[in-house]
């Protein structure tokens, strides 16, 4: 299978390229320098030349707070860029996998969100990701929308790496305990995309590691694993706080937990539990001290 990956230099994109290449697929990884998704003509040109069987669209504007004052740029990348890829994918009959977000929901549900719950994004970032979903569905006939949450991986910055740094730098640390979600190891997500891409089971999927926790509970687990496996001198005393104590430009969903109904009903294996994923992530960090 010939696969084109956008955002190939990003946290998820690098793992997607690696895992698909490891499964002997022909992969064209495109960063910003190789493919400007905001340029429709360039999208057509590169996709027509490469003729991919599947495009995995990892490129995105993900600066959640900055998007509140930079909405044009957020929509330019997450909506217009996605439109361009959808049109180009359709022109060559390619499948398109669009990576979306838990932020398309309002976060006020008492239950985990299933794939077909009503969307109601509260932030510019969430609205721009939903726009990308709508354009994918409207302009492409072979589409998968994969919503994920709380991503962490070996490449780039993420919550786990930030907490490991702050845990060593500070003597005390407050972490929000009234927002819950499901952390997602990008290697596990990329492995699911590998399985998904080889099918015609099109539709909307929720893909995160199983289980749920608050950011505070996640940090507790991070510190525990870091002390045990990495021997890091975590000196920060951890305490819980509320969202109101840390106001941000963009509203955060109180509930980001995603139910994996589509994974089950389409016969796919579910992703591992987030605690298992965190242990494997920390074990991989152990192999490369530069990561921490």
Q: Tell me the mean pLDDT in the region 206-225.
A: 98
pLDDT at 286 over 90: no
Measured at the CA of 45, the angle between CA 28 and CA 3, to 5 degrees, comes to 25
Asked if residue 247 is part of any domain, the answer here is no
- By the 8 A CB rule, do 78 and 71 touch? no
Asked if residue 109 is part of any domain, the answer here is yes
Write down the pLDDT at residue 133: 98
- By the 8 A CB rule, do 190 and 21 touch? no
Write down the pLDDT at residue 287: 83
- By the 8 A CB rule, do 56 and 143 touch? no
What phi, psi does 283 have (nearest 5°)?
-65, -40
Asked if residue 40 is part of any domain, the answer here is yes
pLDDT digits (tens, 9 = 90+) for 188-201: 999 999 999 999 99
Catalytic residue, candidates 125, 202, 205, 216: 125
Residue 268 lies in domain: 2-158+182-212+256-272
Rounded mean pLDDT of the chain?
96
Asked if residue 92 is part of any domain, the answer here is yes
**How far apart (Å, rounded) are the C-alpha atoms in residues 40 and 180?**
38
What pLDDT band is residue 246 in, cutting at 50, 70 and 90?
confident
Q: Is 125 labeled as catalytic in the residue annotation?
A: yes
Give me the numbers of helices (H) and strands (E) for the chain, helices first please. 10, 12
Asked if residue 97 is part of any domain, the answer here is yes
Asked if residue 95 is part of any domain, the answer here is yes
Asked if residue 54 is part of any domain, the answer here is yes
User: Count of domains in the chain?
Assistant: 1
pLDDT digits (tens, 9 = 90+) for 107-161: 999 999 999 999 999 999 999 999 999 999 999 999 999 999 999 999 989 999 9
Asked if residue 292 is part of any domain, the answer here is no
Q: What is the CATH number of the domain that holds 92?
A: 3.40.50.720
């Amino acid at each position: 299978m010939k696969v084109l990956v956008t955002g190939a230099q990003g946290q998820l994109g690098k793992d997607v390229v690696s895992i698909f290449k490891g499964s002997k697929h022909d992969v064209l990884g495109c960063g910003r320098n190789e493919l400007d998704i905001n340029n429709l003509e360039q999208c057509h040109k590169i996709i027509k030349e490469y003729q991919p069987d599947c495009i995995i669209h990892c490129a995105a504007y993900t600066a959640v707070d900055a998007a509140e004052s930079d909405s044009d740029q957020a929509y330019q990348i997450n909506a217009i860029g996605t439109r361009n890829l959808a049109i180009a994918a359709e022109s060559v009959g390619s499948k398109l996998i669009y990576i979306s977000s838990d932020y398309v929901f309002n976060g006020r549900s008492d239950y985990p969100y299933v794939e077909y719950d009503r969307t109601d994004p509260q932030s510019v970032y969430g609205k721009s990701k939903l726009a990308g979903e709508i354009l994918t569905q409207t302009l492409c006939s072979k589409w998968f929308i994969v919503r994920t949450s709380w991503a962490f991986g070996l490449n780039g910055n993420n919550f786990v790496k930030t907490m490991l740094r702050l845990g060593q730098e500070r003597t005390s640390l407050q972490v929000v305990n009234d927002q819950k979600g499901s952390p997602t190891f990008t290697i596990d997500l990329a492995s699911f995309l590998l399985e998904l891409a080889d099918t015609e089971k099109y539709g909307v999927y929720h893909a995160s590691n199983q289980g749920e926790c608050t950011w505070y509970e996640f940090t507790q687990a991070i510190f525990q694993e870091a002390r045990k496996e990495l021997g890091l001198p975590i000196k920060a005393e951890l305490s819980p706080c509320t969202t109101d104590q840390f106001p941000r430009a963009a509203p955060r969903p109180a509930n980001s937990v995603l139910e994996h109904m589509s994974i089950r009903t389409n016969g796919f294996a579910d992703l591992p539990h987030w605690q298992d994923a965190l242990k494997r992530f920390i074990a991989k960090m152990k192999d490369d001290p530069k990561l921490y």
